[in-house]
Amino acid sequence: MIEIRNLTKTFNTSDGAVEALKNVSLTIHDGDIYGIIGMSGAGKSTLVRCINMLERPTEGQVFIDGTDMGALSQKDLRKMRRDITMIFQGFNLLMQRTCLKNVCFPLELAGMKKADAKKRAMELLEIVGLPDKANAYPAQLSGGQQQRIAIARALATEPKVLLCDEATSALDPKTTHSILDLIKDINRKMGITVIVITHQMSVVEEICNQVAILDGGVVVEKGNVTDIFAAPKSDAAKRLVFPEGFDAPVVESFDNERRIRVVFNGADAAGTPLIARMAVEKGICANIKAASTKTIGGKAYGNMLLGIPGDREVLDQAMRYLTAVEDVVAEEVND
């Protein structure tokens, strides 16, 4: 278990002190894939570097399985880092070493015998699906392949925690997907806790079960991924979940039209063509003015802005109809 307690990090720059993290507290359980998401400059990278003490927190503590990371001696910290490895946006492979030697590298650091290290490295190259690249140099590989080598290298010392710092941000969507699959697989098969730093909601959606949203160095929301997606409360969360905008109407308002916001809170998405049914059953032809919905695990999350032509009575009728559906909330929008 990783416990981050009241973490604050202040950088002293020439423009004065900058608070990158303010009083951040998180608990990450074993086996979680924990997403930490935020815009650039939100402090995500600083936060992940505080976990393995690449950055020393100004205040607060990080406990990994009860060990206070900040209190370790340099030597013990180096040993501890074999249990908390990291992959990066830029892969950061040693460019003058072959892929096999790159995977051997952390084992060499730990003092393992060359022959044993090589054997273990080959096994890892098998796991990441690149045994044929053992003697190739990183420059000869594509970005996705380089990240696979980096993952093999990170797994070499059999860590308990894998930190992923924007690990898929430099990759195209298809490669991103395959790398995320690999990470998910590793999490499942080896039981490694994964912390994923990203600015892409799609990454969190795809692999994380828990998420914390970081904005301006503060955790503004945290919890189950499905809960946050269903009802993002903070502005930062809304921006991330619905980057197209939460409320902005796409279609101009007509005269004599009332507006309803419909919130889907995990409604059964597949079985209910809700708006069409309302038109057929009640004769109310709603105008969809804006919609921002996502399907997570077969359930619909998000919201929709409807324009209802007609008078008060029609509106009430529509409200009654919509609210009758399970996990759907409707409210009138007045502005």
Residue 134 near residue 122, CB atoms below 8 Å: yes
What six digits make up the tokens of 330?
């409707």
Specify the stretch interacting with another protein by CB under 8 A; choose among 3-11, 63-71, 102-110, 126-134.
102-110
Binding test (CB under 8 A) with another protein, winner from 33, 64, 93, 300: 93
Long-range CB pairs of 174-180 (<8 Å, 24+ gap) are 175/142, 175/143, 175/144, 175/147, 176/203, 177/206, 178/144, 179/144, 179/147, 179/148, 179/151, 180/206, 180/207
Shortest Cβ 195–another protein spacing (Å): 13
State which residue, 141 or 260, has the beta carbon closest to another protein.
141
Based on C-alpha coordinates, what's the Rg of the chain?
Answer: 24
Smaller CB separation from another protein, 134 or 230: 134
Whichever of 77 and 319 has its CB closer to another protein, that residue is 77
How many Cα atoms within 13 Å fall on the side-chain side of residue 169?
19
Closest separation between CB of residue 106 and another protein, Å? 4
Do 183 and 207 meet the contact criterion of CB atoms below 8 Å apart? yes
For residue 52, state whether it binds another protein (rule: CB under 8 A).
yes
Region label for 295, one of left (φ > 0), alpha (ψ between -120 and 50) or beta (otherwise): beta
Considering the complex, state which of residue 93 and residue 197 has its C-beta at the smaller distance from another protein.
93
265 binds another protein (CB under 8 A): no
Min CB(55)–another protein separation in Å: 10
d(CA 33, CA 40): 21
Shortest separation between residue 170's beta carbon and another protein, angstroms? 12
Of residues 160-219, which lie at the interface with another protein (CB under 8 A)?
163
- Chain residues binding another protein by CB under 8 A are 52, 54, 77-82, 85-86, 88, 90, 92-97, 105-106, 108-110, 137-140, 153, 157, 163
